[in-house]
Structure 1
Amino acid sequence: MSITMHDVAARAGVSIKTVSNVVNDYPHVSDATRSKVERAIAELGYRPNLSARSLRSGRSGVISLIIPDLRNAYFAELADAVMRQARARGLSVLIEQVAGGRDVELEILRGPRMQLVDGILYSPLSLDRDDSALLPEGPMVILGEQLFDGDRDHVTMANVDGARAATEHLLAQGRRRIVALGTDPHDTLGPAALRLQGYREALEAAGIPADPAYVSTVVSWHRSDGANAMREVIAAGLPFDGVVAFNDAMALGAMRVLQDAGLRIPDDVAIIGFDDLDETRYALPTLSTVDIGREEIAERAVELLIERIAAPGQPEAPRAIVSGFRVVPRESTGSVTAHEPGSRAAPSTL
């Protein structure tokens, strides 16, 4: 026999209407009453009828997360953070990948599955400002730089400041010939361009000319791309003593190539990544990196999307959130402490 809302109301000692308000997450319920109802739901194992709930409220309780590529560990960890944040707020997450190119990206954005969700968290890959008119209507929060016209909120990381801080960390270790690993000549507004800007600013502030020979381009941001780029740098005979990789995956690939070439990390070459992936703590040596506030990005993005879902069409200026960051020194730059000192730069609202 299935548990009903009537059973929950009887167990909690409240009305069926109150149970309905809690299930549908209406705001005007006291914390004490909400806790009592939620306890009864847990004790009885009550499962709301989502189909009926959707028909009554016009909402599905599902949001979509559209990201470039789950093979990239950053996006896998971001997806995990988004799912946890959404689940804590009673939402489910439909995940889509857009690694197949511009046509695939548009097909997913405008496809039938997006009609089933209440809102979209979207990390663009192939689309840019010229495609603004092609984006679907409805609540949407952009993850990353604001590449589109319109009134969409966006949550991003401190790309320029983080890359500048990473480069300054190497400079503080006495490194002067620093390779930037991960640039993209086609990226003028996205993370690659912004992290390159931060790298250059740090060098210039230290009185070191930004030499284009020390800027290594890649096809993508996977380990293999970092490894291939590092091989090219070594083969070119370029003297270098530091590497700023624009993400951790490329840094890990580059580390393997450096070690295979007989170069000692950090004695001969210090290297730092970007993203603070979990696996960087277990690399040999452990990888210094920039913690970009992934959990904060997920939390703020979900919160902004829920606010937009709750007030569709309400005129409000688009909001831009930049997460805080911190440099995490580890063994790959000569920091042998096992723990991770330092505080995060505070998040900001643009």
Structure 2
Amino acid sequence: MGDLMGSTMHDVARLASVSIKTVSNVINDHPHVRPDTRDRVLAAIAELDYRPNLSARGLRSGRTGVIGLAVPALRENYFAELADAIIRAADARGLGVVVEQTSGDRERELQVVAGGRLRLTDGLLFSPFTLGQNDVKSLSTDFPLVLLGERIFNGPTDHVAMHNTSSARAAVEHLLDIGRRRIAVIGAEAERGDEVSSASLRLDGYVLALEGAGIEVDQSLIRSSPHWNHSAGASMIRELIEEGTAFDAVFALNDTLGLGALRALGESRLRIPEDVAVIGFDNIDEARFSLPSMSSVDVGSEQIAATAVDLLIERIAEKGSRRPPRTVKPDFRIVRRESTGFPGTG
């Protein structure tokens, strides 16, 4: 009997006397297939026991029980933990997940939203990295799609986003509350254009917090990098120290940058938090176990995952519905740990 290594779509097409495209249309439940042709293809699939990750029930219903998830980079802790949370949320609802890493490549992202990379899935959760507001029309797809992240707003799909600006403002206000006034921010964009991004929204929160405290924004404390990794975080802190720029706190635009900052501060024998307090963003697991443990913004990743999966399930169930797109922003909280003078590690 056939399986993925035995019978192929070509075999099904040959037995049913149809084209491979017709077999694909039947598998994906395209509406414009004649009933007798559909029955013939399904009979061939059953005879050959051809199972492209679909059950016979799935073929007839047009459902695979599998959703797609496309993220920029699984090597980045935030996306790895988000993928884990989405897989667990999907599993609890009886769904499997196929993960696609786009590697921040524009063509890959365009292929993903065109349905060309994640086949045989019921719908897609998509976190873009290179696509921006000017690409909003690319999200007009003929399959269920839920957008994640802060690259595109007011699009035609459901969208699960973060309270980036208000949570960043709360993070900086936490530093202000413990008496810090020379607050460096690391991970900003070198040149801010018209495109909205996580970096630009979080920088807005930083500026609003300082302005609310009557503190003038010092451009020498705003450090940019195209990369949000450990090395970039350490490098920006070393630059501040080598230049002699005075600072008593660091707001890192993500936790990985913050962990790099902790390393550079430790190398320079600066005490944390006595000399420099540090807060990150995303509340990844690693922040709990750094030494000292790092304060962070918990953006509600578990809630983001569960909400995104539930929205996608609704769209799959009501395929073809013209219900207006929804935007959901889960709650956030400031997690206070040793890097800002608190004993908590939770």
The TM-score with structure 2 as length reference comes to 0.81
- Counterpart in the other structure of 1:30: none
- Per the TM alignment, residue 339 of structure 1 is displaced from its structure 2 partner at its CA by 5.2
1:140 to 141, 145, 153: 145
- Counterpart in the other structure of 1:5: none
- 1:291–1:326 Cα contact (<8 Å) kept: yes
1:264 to 267, 271, 284: 271
Instruction: Determine helix, strand or coil for the equivalent of 1:338.
Output: coil
- Per the TM alignment, residue 114 of structure 1 is displaced from its structure 2 partner at its CA by 2.5
- 2:158–2:325 Cα contact (<8 Å) kept: yes
- 1:64–1:117 Cα contact (<8 Å) kept: yes
1:289 to 291, 296, 319: 296
Instruction: Determine helix, strand or coil for the equivalent of 1:63.
Output: strand
2:270 counterpart letter in structure 1 = L
- Counterpart in the other structure of 1:117: 121
Give unmatched runs, 5+ long, in structure 1.
1-48, 341-350
2:106 to 102, 106, 112: 102
CA, structure 1 residues 239+193, in 2 after alignment: closer, same or farther (shift >3 Å)? same
1:186-265 to structure 2, matched below 5 A, reads 186=192, 188-265=195-272
- Per the TM alignment, residue 250 of structure 1 is displaced from its structure 2 partner at its CA by 0.4
- 1:272–1:287 Cα contact (<8 Å) kept: yes
- 1:146–1:154 Cα contact (<8 Å) kept: no
- Per the TM alignment, residue 269 of structure 1 is displaced from its structure 2 partner at its CA by 0.3
For 1:224 and 1:99, how far apart are their aligned partners in 2?
A: 19
1:327 to 327, 334, 346: 334
Give unmatched runs, 5+ long, in structure 2.
1-52
Instruction: Determine helix, strand or coil for the equivalent of 1:254.
Output: helix
State the 4+ residue runs in structure 1 displaced beyond 4 angstroms: none
2:74 to 70, 75, 93: 70
For 1:138 and 1:59, how far apart are their aligned partners in 2?
A: 12
For 1:322 and 1:124, how far apart are their aligned partners in 2?
A: 17
1:87 to 82, 88, 91: 91
For 1:143 and 1:251, how far apart are their aligned partners in 2?
A: 23
**1:156 matches 2:181:** no
For 2:290 and 2:154, how far apart are their aligned partners in 1?
A: 41
- 2:65–2:94 Cα contact (<8 Å) kept: yes
- 1:131–1:148 Cα contact (<8 Å) kept: no
For 2:264 and 2:345, how far apart are their aligned partners in 1?
A: 26
1:338 counterpart letter in structure 2 = G
For 2:104 and 2:170, how far apart are their aligned partners in 1?
A: 33
Identity percentage of aligned residues: 52
The TM-score with structure 1 as length reference comes to 0.80
For 1:107 and 1:217, how far apart are their aligned partners in 2?
A: 30
